[in-house]
Structure 1
């Protein structure tokens, strides 16, 4: 255990077993960095809050946490196995919350999970997969001791708000790409690569919506239900997170609709181009058919064809061909087919 004064904080230990940070706070100020096996003794002290951050911990570490905070077996099992649906569960006077995180990994969205244990005198966050470190959350909370002094439910709000805020860069990046794709669609038909990219974007947006959607219910329960450790004064803050989640959800739905319209517009543009090509081909075929037909008639070598003996027959036939072809070309050009 490292005791520190309220004004000086020693560097957070980063261990190989998954512990990112473990600190004790009194009136919003960190007073100690602790080991996991010391958590229970600090948590039981009046007005002390233990805040532990883990990243992909081993099963033994989770079992140790369970002993320290008397966590439920089902909650520990869920925290040990990722790929859980966002949810909130109440086990006695403790809460277990699952939230999905998202961040860009190249051109696709990588998803992770955060499991939160909240009870009297403690909050434990467990991160799995793609997830931004919560160190900025801890630093922001520590920079405002008055807010952090509110307790465990304020830390819970700060983490959930941070998770939801991190959806925005993903949405904004995809929105920029969608707008560029939409502009290209109106200029020309989409290529196969663009269609494949459009499909991948719609798939990622659907997965993101499935990750974001259940958070509405989680935040709604934190806002309205009389859950342990959630004070009435914190409900407006959770209401703000709920509104933010709904805004993200609306943006996702809007982007999916734009991508659907872009695909439909691409089909219409492609059909229009095919129609224009078909009109041009039909027009030229009609023009070429005139000399072909006339040449075919006079190429049958019948003996009794008066025009063959006429002195000006050749010039008359050529003139007729040119006149008819010119008339057809003019009509097709006027109709917009050529």
Structure 2
């Protein structure tokens, strides 16, 4: 009997100690340090880095330090470094390598810069606002019509650095197209500036054409036979146009400064190309100003329509109030508790009063109907 109790005790002991052994295998032992997790690799802002000699891209993968050193040893070479939304730490090393001034470096890290061209020693800093049209099935009160971004360029004697913020204008197609124009690319870093700005202005033209279609739809809704259209749609389109206007109009002054030669270092051949871009930009500026005036006119017309509709509603309310005032007045008079009232005890008085009410209300209805109040 005692042996049986001891056997049962061993069985219970194994039953309780087995889960403990399993848990001890899973959990770390006391004093044991779990191995540190490897740090996540940080996303690099460098999209592409190429070395160009006489307008021809040199084969191989180039680090920007080696590429810059090779370009400085030659007279017909430059480096094109493309960045996408770099952080301050990564861009600090690039700025030190290329000798960039701290003020434009601070602007390049941040987005939403006003279009400008500034000179820092022998390096030119240019900021351009980009824009693209956002496709939408129907214009609503919350539709995003225009998406904007930024492209900054550092243009030096042997390098050009493009910094892109947002996806409104991708520069990979610009690089691919420009690499097929070796004569133009042989002009140096300013050829890259022309290609980038030309692409940006071409997108401006596309956005202006698409916005014109939206304005035509809004105009048709306001001035159509129905004369409807929610006024919030007009406000939303005007708000998006203002954002597009802030990107387009300020770019005219920097381009004119480049065309007139106030910014040194621009080759004369590239200056002629920039003049063509400035002409396209001036056409876009005229379109934007016209669109703004047109939307103001449409908005004023819609407000006038709402005012007329409100006056019509008020006239209808006043007309019905006048019609209903007649039976209300008669019923109020005969509802007074006086014994000596005319025709109070007449057998046909009730029916006569109803006929009089109906006749007067019908007469007033015809009068208001003819006058256009109903």
Q: Which category describes the TM-score, using the shorter chain as reference length?
A: 0.7 to 0.9
Alignment-derived partner of residue 293 in structure 2: 257
Aligned residues of 1:87 and 1:215 also touching (Cα < 8 A)? yes
Alignment-derived partner of residue 125 in structure 1: 162
Give the C-alpha shift of residue 236 in structure 1.
Answer: 2.9
Q: Does 1:207 align with 2:238?
A: no
Alignment-derived partner of residue 86 in structure 1: 115
Question: Measured at CA, do residues 75 and 32 of structure 1 come closer, stay the same or move farther in structure 2, by a change above 3 Å?
Answer: farther
The residue correspondences of 1:132-171 to structure 2 (distance < 5 A) are 132-171=169-208
Alignment-derived partner of residue 52 in structure 1: 81
Q: Supply the distance in 1 between the matched residues of 2:295 and 2:214 (Cα, whole angstroms).
A: 10
Aligned residues of 1:103 and 1:111 also touching (Cα < 8 A)? yes
Q: Does 1:19 align with 2:46?
A: yes
Q: Supply the distance in 2 between the matched residues of 1:309 and 1:17 (Cα, whole angstroms).
A: 101
Aligned residues of 1:280 and 1:337 also touching (Cα < 8 A)? yes
TM-score (norm 2): 0.73
Alignment-derived partner of residue 64 in structure 2: 36
Q: Supply the distance in 2 between the matched residues of 1:86 and 1:159 (Cα, whole angstroms).
A: 14
Aligned residues of 2:156 and 2:189 also touching (Cα < 8 A)? yes
Aligned residues: 320
- Superposition RMSD on alpha carbons, in Å? 3.1
**307-316 or 68-77, larger mean C-alpha shift:** 307-316
Partner secondary structure for residue 227 of structure 1: coil
1:177-212: CA deviation from partner (whole Å, max 9, x where unpaired): 333333333435555xx52x5434333332332232
Query: Is there any run of 5+ residues in structure 1 with no aligned partner, and where?
Result: 1-14
Q: Supply the distance in 2 between the matched residues of 1:220 and 1:57 (Cα, whole angstroms).
A: 30
Partner secondary structure for residue 97 of structure 1: strand
Aligned residues of 2:128 and 2:251 also touching (Cα < 8 A)? yes
Query: Is there any run of 5+ residues in structure 2 with no aligned partner, and where?
Result: 1-41, 137-142
Q: Supply the distance in 2 between the matched residues of 1:95 and 1:120 (Cα, whole angstroms).
A: 10
Task: Report the structure number with the largest CA radius of gyration.
Answer: 2
Give the C-alpha shift of residue 220 in structure 1.
Answer: 1.0
1:246-267: CA deviation from partner (whole Å, max 9, x where unpaired): 3333333333333333333333
More strand by share: 1
Partner secondary structure for residue 58 of structure 2: strand
Q: Supply the distance in 2 between the matched residues of 1:85 and 1:145 (Cα, whole angstroms).
A: 32
Q: Supply the distance in 1 between the matched residues of 2:308 and 2:234 (Cα, whole angstroms).
A: 21
Aligned residues of 1:178 and 1:259 also touching (Cα < 8 A)? yes
Partner secondary structure for residue 32 of structure 1: coil
Question: Measured at CA, do residues 24 and 332 of structure 1 come closer, stay the same or move farther in structure 2, by a change above 3 Å?
Answer: same
**172-181 or 312-321, larger mean C-alpha shift:** 312-321
Q: Supply the distance in 2 between the matched residues of 1:247 and 1:302 (Cα, whole angstroms).
A: 87
Q: Supply the distance in 2 between the matched residues of 1:298 and 1:69 (Cα, whole angstroms).
A: 99
Q: Supply the distance in 2 between the matched residues of 1:243 and 1:100 (Cα, whole angstroms).
A: 17
Alignment-derived partner of residue 259 in structure 2: 223
Aligned residues of 1:123 and 1:155 also touching (Cα < 8 A)? yes
Q: Supply the distance in 1 between the matched residues of 2:280 and 2:331 (Cα, whole angstroms).
A: 76
Alignment-derived partner of residue 114 in structure 1: 151
Q: Does 1:97 align with 2:126?
A: yes
